[in-house]
Amino acid sequence: MKTLVIAPNWVGDTVLAQPVFEALAASGRSVSILARPHLHSLLSLMPSVSDSLPRSASDQQTVEAIRDRKFDEAVVLPNSFRSAWLAYRAKVPRRWGYGGRFPSWSFRTPLLSPAVKRPRLTGRHQSTDYLELLEAMDAPVPSVWLPRVTLSDEQRTKGRSLLARAQVESGSAPLVGLFPGAEFGPSKRWPWRRFVNAARALRRVQPDVRIVIVAGPKELWLAVRIHEETGKIHPVVGPDLDLADLALVLGQLDLLITNDSGPMHLAASLGVPCLALFGPTDPSRTRPLGRGNQVLYTDRWCSPCFRRRCPLLHHRCMRDLSVEQVVDSSKRLLASLEESEEG
């Protein structure tokens, strides 16, 4: 069975969909992923993915690429009309996906064959959103439903070399990453000056800690500001790396202090503890999964609002998270890590 999976467009959503790829591959299917070009290096780290197709900006080119592969079925993970339309136009015989209760989703229902009734997702983590879809496809669900990316010894060695290129030497002292970005929008970002103060305070209470500032191309300006304001002693890594190499760097960390973001989910899937700062989004839906993670969330009356910018202009959901909270939580997470290593 040649199966095409139309992947989500966001890094974090793609990481959370990794158990779906694994379940489909375990059912005997040959799994190919249709994804945006920047996601392909990330998919290369997932053994359950047979190959990947670039989702072009031109729908016609994408449809022709799908049609040429002669897939037996397509699994449409995004909720959009456009994603279902691609599989329909490419004449894939079976097109699995959720139909919709809301008008914006119901228009795509006739394009699916079959359309699976969308479950109520309130109160459950986003990573489990596709369980009912897999059950409809008779794909066995893994006993452990957890996004997990495993790096080889060779990949870990490359990760150390990428850090060494940024003047981060190997050592026994804990290595903490700061990720100040969030591609969704500024409402998700803890103020960059708080990251500056947190880096300074963490060094005061734990002088041996090593800190790196992690950034993608779109977060470079934030990373540079933090780098400059902390005396240029904490290097910036990531803007020139693809997602696979970024994963190799994240895999070297002992802790990532991060906004709700794609790198947060990627780090958690690598088994790296995350201190996740939440405000306008719902941690019950998108918290980092796995052991050793902690969420800081103020749970104001106006959150989660899921808006790219604060509609009330005060951004209190993120500003109410103090530097002291972040530093204290970081110390506890690092201490628990040391205890587990000694044990």
Domains and CATH numbers, the chain: 2-136 (3.40.50.2000), 154-342 (3.40.50.2000)
Instruction: Give the burial string for 207-242 (b: 16+ CB within 10 Å, else e).
Output: eebbbbbbbbeebeebbbbbbebbeeebbbbbbebe
- CA 212 to mean position of chain CA atoms: 19
pLDDT of residue 64: 96
Q: Rounding to the nearest 10 degrees, give the CA dihedral for residues 122, 126, 132, 133.
A: 130
Distances (CA, A) of 242 to 187, 212, 217, 250: 25, 17, 10, 12
C-alpha 248/C-alpha 196 separation (Å) is 25
Whether 24 and 5 have beta carbons less than 8 Å apart is answered as yes
Q: Do β-strands 294-297 and 274-278 pair in parallel, antiparallel, or remain unpaired?
A: parallel
Whether 174 and 58 have beta carbons less than 8 Å apart is answered as no
DSSP annotation string for 257-285: EEESSHHHHHHHHTT--EEEEESSS-HHH
Amino acid type, 41: S
Residue 203, phi then psi, degrees to nearest 5 = -70, -30
pLDDT of residue 101: 62
> 282 CB contacts (<8 Å, ≥6 apart)?
304, 306
C-alpha 262/C-alpha 308 separation (Å) is 15
Amino acid type, 13: D
- Taking CB atoms within 8 Å and a gap of at least 24, the contacts of 93-97 are 96/133, 96/136, 96/137, 97/133
Place of tokens 């969704």: 184
> 60 CB contacts (<8 Å, ≥6 apart)?
none
How many C-alpha atoms does 124 have within 13 Å on its Cβ side? 12
Residue 96 host element (H or E): strand 94-98
What string of pLDDT tens digits covers the 343 residues of the chain?
899 999 999 999 999 999 999 999 999 999 999 999 999 999 999 999 989 999 998 999 999 999 999 999 999 999 889 999 999 999 999 999 998 665 555 688 899 998 998 888 778 999 999 999 999 999 998 888 899 999 999 999 999 999 999 988 777 899 999 999 988 888 899 999 999 999 999 999 999 999 999 999 888 999 999 999 999 999 999 999 999 999 999 999 999 999 999 999 999 999 999 999 999 999 999 999 998 999 999 888 888 888 888 888 888 899 999 999 999 999 999 998 876 766 5
Predicted model pTM: 0.94
pLDDT of residue 26: 93
